[in-house]
Amino acid sequence: MAKISLIVPVYNTEKYLNKCIDSLINQSYDDIEIIIINDGSTDYSENLIKSYNDKRIKYISKKNEGIGKTRNLGIEKSSGEYLAFVDSDDYLNENFCEKMLNKAITDDCDVVICDYYEDHNDDLKKINFINFPDTSLKQDPKLINFINLGPCNKIYKRDLLQKNKIKFIENLKYEDAPFVVKSLIKAKKIGKVNDYLTYYVIHEKSETTIRDEKIFDILKITDIIVKDLKNANFPNEEMINLVTMILTDYTIQQRYINDKHNRDQFINAAFNYLDNVDRNWKKCNYLKKFNYLKRLVKTNKILTKLYCDLYNFRHN
């Protein structure tokens, strides 16, 4: 089989780093390249990385420039025919490389995804996606609403990224979503391994539990995604489904923001954005999967604010 490059950006994750690196060097498939990039950590991450003596590890240390630029550097420095991205506080099943590569090579897939676990202090929650035959977004545009927009439970063919000049957005938060969307748009074949092969660790500093003033970047990120989808002549109905999924998810997550003014400001901006994209977004198919009460909260600005206020009051 082919070589796979595992790209690991590191920033102050000393608590989780050993488990992450151990899961990489203990892969059942041996022909791997592990590119670990220290993005200006101020803790003991560098010491932990240097304690490993494995010829497959390529270590790069640089000043702090953000995860987008760090991942792009990893792509630039990698040599594998396939690439995978691993966050330094997450870890992989020992068969990740073997099973994902076997699928990619056997069926000539440009992108392969897998199911994953959320790890809440060793309490594992299964996150699985619909099973689908090898396909593309041209053949099945609805698929874009059934694949997560995080880069880490996937592998990508290098040629796909190089030929289409696909890189991570730099200097914006949530930079991974356009990377995944563009990869899926350009992929001639997308495949799935029906197995839980990655572990996404949820902790007090996880992206899932932290929202700050950079939340407004998601509106700029959504603009980039909309532009890419329109350039690909993507069906408008599915684009509205995706935009609604992204922004209603982030409005509900404003419950984590303590500052009511900032909470309300973002909710107002997101609802305005959705109204400008399509005045009928509240009737899109994505929202139909929720029960009446959840759908009502997600589509009503006042109720969204009230929900976030009540949640925040109870948990602070």
pLDDT in tens, 91-142: 999 999 999 999 999 999 999 999 999 999 889 999 999 999 999 999 999 9
| Structural domains present in the chain | 4-202 (3.90.550.10), 213-314 (no CATH)
pTM over the 0.95 mark: no
* Interatomic CA distance for residues 48 and 53, integer angstroms: 11
pLDDT given at position 203 = 76
Note whether 238 and 289 are within 8 A (CB).
no
pLDDT in tens, 191-230: 999 999 999 999 765 544 444 568 999 999 999 999 999 9
Note whether 117 and 46 are within 8 A (CB).
no
Contacts of 282 (CB under 8 A, 6+ apart): 299
pLDDT given at position 122 = 83
pLDDT beneath 50: ranges in the chain: 207-211
pLDDT given at position 204 = 67
pLDDT given at position 55 = 95
The 10 Å Cβ neighbour count of residue 63 is 7
